[in-house]
Amino acid sequence: MSVLNSRYKTLCLWFFTACSGLHIASAAAEQVLYTHSFNVTISVLCEEGEVTCERVEYIGRSLKTGNSIRLQGRTEHTLCADGLTPCRFLGYRFTNGDFVYTVSETGMLQVTQKQKLLLQEQGTWQ
């Protein structure tokens, strides 16, 4: 983020809080995905209004074993026509060694290892 953008964001935040009298908390945006085999909690740890986020947390719990895993990841987007600007939100991506966990905005949970699909389950967001 450029210094100008940072100052502008700070000024806008100050103006909003000063004029509205509201206290703004920086709590994580959290969603839970329920699939047949897993409950997955996704927490976006970036400031509200950020288009992309490199600080997203995944906590997945197996309904069969009760085991859980915590991963750090990022949001995923398509790119606009300029090839640089993020456009449509696609979901989230998390890596753990050779394993890649993706969670789509439609609630599809996929786990791959070296591009081989190991798990694919459709879930519902709550």
37 part of a folded domain? yes
19 part of a folded domain? no
- Residue 67: the pLDDT is 98
Domain around 119? 26-125
- Residue 55: the pLDDT is 97
Q: For the ranges 21-30, 35-44, 64-73, which has the lowest average pLDDT?
A: 21-30
How many folded domains does the chain comprise? 1
102 part of a folded domain? yes
13 part of a folded domain? no
Q: What is the 3-state secondary structure (H, E, C) of the chain?
A: CCHHHHHHHHHHHHHHHHHHCCCCCCCCEEEEEECCCEEEEEEECCCCCCCCCCCEEEEEEECCCCCEEEEEEEEEEEECCCCCCEEEEEEEEEEECCEEEEEECCCEEEEEECCEEEEEEECEEC
